[in-house]
Amino acid sequence: MFMTVEAESYPEIKDYTKAVDEPEWFTALRIKALKAIPQLKLPSFEKIKYQRWPIQLKRPLKQQFSKPELLAELSFERAQHLIVQLGQQLVSAEGISELEEKGVIVCDWQTALRRHSDLVKKYFMKRAVKLDEDLLTAQHVAYLTSGLFIYVPKNTVLTEPLTTYFVQDATEKFDYVHHVTIIAQEGSELSYLENLTTIGQEKTTANIIVEVIAEDNSHVKFASVDRLGSNTTTYLNRRGHLGKNAKIDWSMGMMNDGNIVGDFDSDLTGDGAHSEVKIVAISTGKQVQGIDTRVTNIGRHTIGHILQHGVILSRSTLTFNGIGHILKGAKGADAQQESRVLMLSTKAKGDANPILLIDDNYVTAGHAASVGRVNQEQLYYLMSRGLPKKIAERLVIRGFLGPVLAEIPSQLIRKQLMVTIERKLVDGQKDE
């Protein structure tokens, strides 16, 4: 790799990019991001106050070499196509050669930069998320160290899901800066199951961005179970860019233990584009979760639906923002949303904010929002049948989250979410 004269002025970047053999164009992009940072501000989200959190990336850009034996305490679901990453390193890639025969590209971030540089350069932070969008996106580019690149060619249909496990190594004080790019070319179909988790208890910051580019007539099913650690402060940005008649189904389980800002957007740019967003979240302890979910109807006859249910225990906080924005020219658009929060503690704080922005006529839009406590009649009925109060509460919560879980298309994700929900509820009740 040829090192630019400008890179010589940034020893930290120079040493890292030389060590990983990074292409010159991406090194230049890092420097561009660094220069933009002083002029940029933190993103603002309605009723989510996170600005004083340790959410900015301040640790130097370095390689982290994680010990594979750290994974011994974790178990992974069997899958035909399986990727496992620990920290900055790829641990295993099973069944990927079968996909390569179809022209599908699935590779870790550094491999993508070396082998598929032109493709990465074409799509990275160009459509879904922009480098200079805000302070956190610029920091993301400047300090990016791990990720995954997925490219599905035109009219290619993947019948088996691609399953990933991304394990943050918090046994050392390294920031976790991770990027996933998914490109579904015209007429293609893909199911993607993502698992985020943490090993270790060091106080760290995670900055994670996922870009899904769904070209005309493509269909992407994105499902995730997020279980980042209690000492990890996270900015999680998942963004979809949809072409004509494209569809993205988002199913996300926010089961993290630390403070997190979730920034989830779908831009329906092409006529007939369709996005379904389903989120379940549980907050426990003193945790704060702020989830900002937006669907922007840009093309004509586009459909954007948001369904999010959350449960809060102990002294935790959960905020749902649901934003449906129909831009001028998006005639025939449909924007619907439902956000509901169930409180199990008098010390918990919950908020559900419906926001509809309508800039054109001949459209359909609606919203529902609620924040409330456990139905005491339901609780009394279950306890009258001999169930202890804590078990009765968990059954009521399952019923509350059931409508969202039932809408999640992946049976595997539903199973994983139920197991994780039970763990979170048991741990949360211990703090009561």
Is 340 within the bounds of a domain?
no
The answer to whether residues 248 and 222 touch, using CB atoms and an 8 Å cutoff, is: yes
How far apart CA 429 and CA 348 sit, in angstroms, is 13
Is 409 within the bounds of a domain?
no
Kindly provide the residue ranges of all beta strands, DSSP E only, lying in 113-246, ordered along the sequence: 146-152, 162-169, 176-184, 189-199, 204-214, 219-227, 232-242
Q: What is the pLDDT of residue 3?
A: 46
The phi-psi region of residue 147 (left if phi > 0; otherwise alpha if psi is between -120 and 50; otherwise beta) is: left
Residue 167 pairs with which residues in a beta bridge? Answer: 86, 197
Domain tally for the chain? 1
Is 362 within the bounds of a domain?
no
How far apart CA 129 and CA 265 sit, in angstroms, is 10
> Which amino acid is located at 342 in the chain?
L
How far apart CA 82 and CA 273 sit, in angstroms, is 29
> Which amino acid is located at 40 in the chain?
L
Is 419 within the bounds of a domain?
no
Q: What is the pLDDT of residue 5?
A: 47
Is 421 within the bounds of a domain?
no
Q: What is the pLDDT of residue 8?
A: 64
The token pair at 243 is 């072409």
Is 28 within the bounds of a domain?
yes
Q: Cα 360 to chain center, whole Å? A: 30
pLDDT tens profile 371-430:
988 777 888 888 888 888 888 888 888 888 888 888 776 777 788 888 888 888 777 666
**Order of all β-strands in the sheet with 189-199:** 89-94, 81-86, 162-169, 189-199, 219-227, 247-254, 274-283, 303-312, 334-343, 364-373
Any idea which residue has 């906080």 for tokens? 317
* Interacting residues of 5 by C-beta distance below 8 A, sequence separation 6+: none
Is 125 within the bounds of a domain?
yes
Q: Which helix (H) or strand (E) holds 35?
A: helix 24-36
Nearest to 260 by CA among 55, 30, 400: 55
Q: Which helix (H) or strand (E) holds 64?
A: none
The token pair at 164 is 């990933």
Is 166 within the bounds of a domain?
yes
Q: How far is CA 351 from CA 191, 372, 418, in A?
A: 32, 10, 24
Given a cut of 70, the residues of the chain with pLDDT beneath it are 1-8, 409, 428-432
The token pair at 5 is 């004269």
Nearest to 175 by CA among 148, 211, 139, 210: 139
Range of 135's domain? 1-270
For CA atoms 48, 306, 177, 203, give the dihedral sign.
positive
